[in-house]
Amino acid sequence: MITKRSFRPFFMPGIFEDNFFPTVSGSTNITKPAVNIREDEKKYSLELAVPGIDKKDLKIEINEDILTISMEQKQENEEETSGYKRREFSYASFCRSFYLPEDTNRDKIEASYKDGVLTVDLHKTEEKAKLSKVVKIS
């Protein structure tokens, strides 16, 4: 069973406290994307560097108190010339998960993708919200 205590604390004190869930990477083509996390009075903002990724390949999900950002790409190329056949394929993926702070409004999570940067805004609230949700990327 995986618990919060199984992982090292997040490296920026005060932001998400010790509730950092580390990344899982299943590809030699994609390393885990760098992330910047900011907090102000109204929201938390996560910025992930994912250049060259099509936003249709990105997925953001919330399950209970965990926000998961993942990507999966599959490509196949086949070429036949002068009796020779060449077939290549590639697969790339990453997955980063974070424990959500208790004051996150799960109904007001927004995501956008521009110039290779995925931004996820987690607005704050005083109320507890729904535990599961899929976030649309604009």
CATH of the domain at 45: 2.60.40.790
How confident is the model over 54-90, as pLDDT tens digits? 999 999 999 988 999 999 888 888 888 887 888 888 8
Residue 110, in any domain of the structure: yes
Residue 6, in any domain of the structure: no
Residue 8, in any domain of the structure: no
DSSP string spanning 17-76? Answer: TT-EEEEEE--SS-PPPPEEEEE-SSEEEEEEE-TT--GGGEEEEEETTEEEEEEEEEEE
Find the domain containing 64 and state its range.
16-78+85-135
Residue 10, in any domain of the structure: no
Quick one: pLDDT at residue 32? 83
> How many domains, in total, are found in the chain?
1
Residue 5, in any domain of the structure: no
pTM of structure: 0.64
